Amino acid sequence: MAAQKIDGTAIAKSIREKLTHEIAEKQKNTPRFKPALTIIQVGGRPDSSTYVRMKLKAAQEANITCNIQKFPEDITEAELLEYIDQLNNDPSVHGILVQLPIPKHISEAAITSAVHHNKDVDGFSTMNIGDLAKRGKTPLFTPCTPAGVMVLLKESGVGVRGKNAVVLGRSDIVGSPVSYLLKNADATVTVCHSHTKNLPEIVKTADIVVAAIGIPNFVKGEWIKPGAVVIDVGINYIKDETRRSGERLVGDVDYESVKEVASLITPVPGGVGPMTVCMLLQNVVESANRFWEATRARKIT
Amino acid sequence: MAAQKIDGTAIAKSIREKLTHEIAEKQKNTPRFKPALTIIQVGGRPDSSTYVRMKLKAAQEANITCNIQKFPEDITEAELLEYIDQLNNDPSVHGILVQLPIPKHISEAAITSAVHHNKDVDGFSTMNIGDLAKRGKTPLFTPCTPAGVMVLLKESGVGVRGKNAVVLGRSDIVGSPVSYLLKNADATVTVCHSHTKNLPEIVKTADIVVAAIGIPNFVKGEWIKPGAVVIDVGINYIKDETRRSGERLVGDVDYESVKEVASLITPVPGGVGPMTVCMLLQNVVESANRFWEATRARKIT
Ligand SMILES: NC(=O)C1=CN([C@@H]2O[C@H](COP(=O)(O)OP(=O)(O)OC[C@H]3O[C@@H](n4cnc5c(N)ncnc54)[C@H](OP(=O)(O)O)[C@@H]3O)[C@@H](O)[C@H]2O)C=CC1
Ligand SMILES: NC(=O)C1=CN([C@@H]2O[C@H](COP(=O)(O)OP(=O)(O)OC[C@H]3O[C@@H](n4cnc5c(N)ncnc54)[C@H](OP(=O)(O)O)[C@@H]3O)[C@@H](O)[C@H]2O)C=CC1
């Protein structure tokens, strides 16, 4: 029997509608409440431009202010750090997002750690990752794609506690934070990467597989334990002459073979992708709420 | 064939001698160089008092200043935070250690996060754990017991890259940071905990097992893959009428059965235990060196 599809588009849509409603309700009493996000884009990578446009559009639809600040490819690390510092100190900005990847001459770790953790809506700062990686602490912001993975599991009724979860990939953006979230949710988590031996054998032990490696159609049906839940984070463009654009979007999972074995699977597109943007908006709104409450608390005392 | 013993006592001794020598050498030119550690103990748990005494003795032997500040069981979280803040701002203190566990009415996460990350010789602050949990970042301090585990593996000639490592336990103090260190060293890491199902089966896949759960003799020989390396972090006292003290120290690993299957194994006592204190001293010396260099740099400019 073919796996059931997890409809990320629908789940994301309902969360975005809830956020739009929440903002509108709040503005009835406090018209000056206006969540605001600044996105920093360095250079002109077409994929980055696409992602930034998507985020802008989604933010506008939810009535979130979104400013895009573009910098040339050759901006120095020091200049970028200075601009981030300005935004950190600008009370009208609730969220700061640096679109990754950034050019190789700038340290990604230095930049993501420079965003003040109370505006770090991407959740990549050392403080937020640190709180995520510690028990008994809750980060101000959880990285968006990993948070989206957890929401998809929850909305699909997948219990995580006590399950074996195998995460393919250990990046700071997806693999590692997903593994911390799954561990905190009481799964037994194995993190695999390019040095992993016998990957198919390890994947076979998983009740939940999260693939985030960036290789088209990498995970095969015969690796999957029957009935497993498969979350495909991959976003890869491959050649497809039958398309007008000449290319086609596929995940890290070989959908056709895996869907025959899994019980639940996210499609690409329409799975994890839409969740990332929607978790970002949620982080911006949460941040705006926190700043608003803090201002109000200061006025009262 | 019985496993070879990893001699933590000898490895720790040689590192401590190196540190003592390093301090003495440095003091020849700069007599005022004096690494200093403050240990905070809340309440009078006998095991905590033993650990604190051990650290004091080891520090003194290495010519590291060590002050012990005891507080009554009923100190408030706010009072403790205030004292930590004082130490954070005291230039004569290079390392601050809060002996855990602390009383239940005080948040362990709040306290460990309050120690400034540049004096956090235990490595438990959010900043240090965050840098450990991120790729491309190196924390100022690595938690002592996990760091000791890695040194034992290295000194025993165990290559970690590409190995399957299973960590039993996910505490902030041992299990989780050990798993981050092993992941950063390119092992494929599985973290197990109290909700893990089929634990023996999972342990059987491991080339390297690290046990940190706090249950005497828990890991059995028949769970172990022949030739695996077994690191026993456990420190448990069990009744033993044949001893004058009426008790005996054992690890989380059933040494007798596991040593018949493993290739390398740490004994308890004499394995990981001595490494913890020695990694602590190393962190204090590193910190003192950093403060010293910073002061010198300020004087020069
Ligand atoms: N849906 C969404 O919104 C998002 C999707 N993505 C997509 O997710 C995927 C992963 O992204 P990201 O984490 O940023 O990628 P990275 O390139 O940063 O990380 C890839 C990870 O996969 C591991 N890996 C590479 N090859 C193999 C292999 N043969 N076997 C096992 N592991 C391997 C790497 O191992 P090692 O560490 O050893 O190098 C690394 O940990 C990409 O397709 C990306 O486009 C990313 C972000 C958001
Ligand atoms: N050698 C040294 O210097 C040091 C030794 N230790 C020793 O190491 C051991 C662990 O210490 P610590 O990490 O602080 O302990 P904690 O009690 O904080 O954590 C124990 C961990 O083991 C897990 N666990 C408990 N029972 C089981 C089970 N039946 N199966 C699988 N996992 C289980 C728990 O799971 P869950 O998270 O689900 O509760 C938890 O993650 C202790 O013996 C301690 O004395 C500790 C520090 C230093």
Q: Give the binding-site residues of ligand 2, using a 6 Å CB cut-off.
A: B 145, 168-171, 173-175, 192-196, 199, 212-215, 233-236, 252, 272-273, 276
The predicted-structure confidence for A82-99, as pLDDT tens digits, reads as follows: 999 999 999 999 999 999
Q: Which of A27, A26, A49, A29 is nearest to A39 (CA)?
A: A49
The predicted-structure confidence for B86-98, as pLDDT tens digits, reads as follows: 999 999 999 999 9
CB neighbours of residue B300 within 10 Å: 6
A130/B135 CB distance under 8 A: no
Give the chain B residue nearest A125 (alpha carbons). B130
pLDDT at B297: 86
SS3 B75: coil
A30: left (phi over 0), alpha (psi -120 to 50) or beta: beta
pLDDT confidence bin for A301, thresholds 50/70/90: low
* Cα–Cα distance measured from residue B288 to residue B282, given in angstroms and rounded to the nearest whole number: 10
pLDDT at B9: 97
Ligand nearest to the CA of B279: 2
Q: Give the binding-site residues of ligand 1, using a 6 Å CB cut-off.
A: A 145, 168-171, 173-175, 192-196, 199, 212-215, 233-236, 252, 272-273, 276
Q: Which of A202, A212, A208, A214 is nearest to A183 (CA)?
A: A208
pTM of the model: 0.96
Q: Which of A225, A289, A301, A296 is nearest to A263 (CA)?
A: A225
Residue by residue, DSSP assigns B2-47 as PPEEP-HHHHHHHHHHHHHHHHHHHHHH-TT---EEEEEEES--HH
Ligand 2 geometric centre to CA of B176 (Å): 10
Q: Which of A249, A252, A251, A202 is nearest to A228 (CA)?
A: A202
CA angle (B181 as vertex; B278, B108 as ends), nearest 5: 70
A190/B193 CB distance under 8 A: no
User: Rg (Cα) of chain B, in Å, rounded?
Assistant: 20
Q: Which residue has the higher pLDDT, A100 or A136?
A: A100
Amino acid in position A273: G
Which of residues 142 through 181 in chain A touch B, CB cutoff 8 A?
161-162, 164, 170-172, 176, 180
The predicted-structure confidence for A199-214, as pLDDT tens digits, reads as follows: 999 999 999 999 999 9
A135/B170 CB distance under 8 A: yes
Q: What integer is the mean pLDDT of A238-249?
A: 95
The number of the ligand 2 atom at minimal distance from the alpha carbon of B196 is 31
Give the chain A residue nearest B132 (alpha carbons). A130
Ligand 2 geometric centre to CA of B169 (Å): 5
Whose tokens are 């054992």? That residue is B250
Residue B275 host element (H or E):
helix B272-300
Chain B residues in contact with A130 (beta carbon < 8 A): 125-131, 133
The 10 Å CB-count burial string (b at 16+, else e) for A154-186 is ebbebebeebbbbbbbbbbbbbbbbbbbbbbbb
Query: ipTM value of the model?
Result: 0.96
CB-side neighbour CA atoms (13 Å) of B260: 8
User: Between helices B126-133 and B175-184, what is the axis angle to 10°?
Assistant: 40
Q: In this prediction, what percent of chain B has a pLDDT beyond 90?
A: 94
Q: What integer is the mean pLDDT of A23-45?
A: 95
Residue A72, pLDDT above cutoff 90: yes
Ranges assigned E (strand) in A43-133: 65-71, 95-98
Q: Which of B301, B289, B249 is nearest to B271 (CA)?
A: B249
Q: In this prediction, what percent of chain A has a pLDDT beyond 70?
A: 99
Ligand nearest to the CA of B192: 2
| C-alpha distance from residue A129 to each of A52, A223, B129 (Å) | 23, 31, 8
Q: What integer is the mean pLDDT of A64-90?
A: 97
B189/A193 CB distance under 8 A: no
Residue A75 host element (H or E):
none
Give the chain A residue nearest B197 (alpha carbons). A162
pLDDT at A296: 84
| Residue ranges of chain B with per-residue pLDDT less than 50 | none
CB B146 within 8 A of CB B129: no
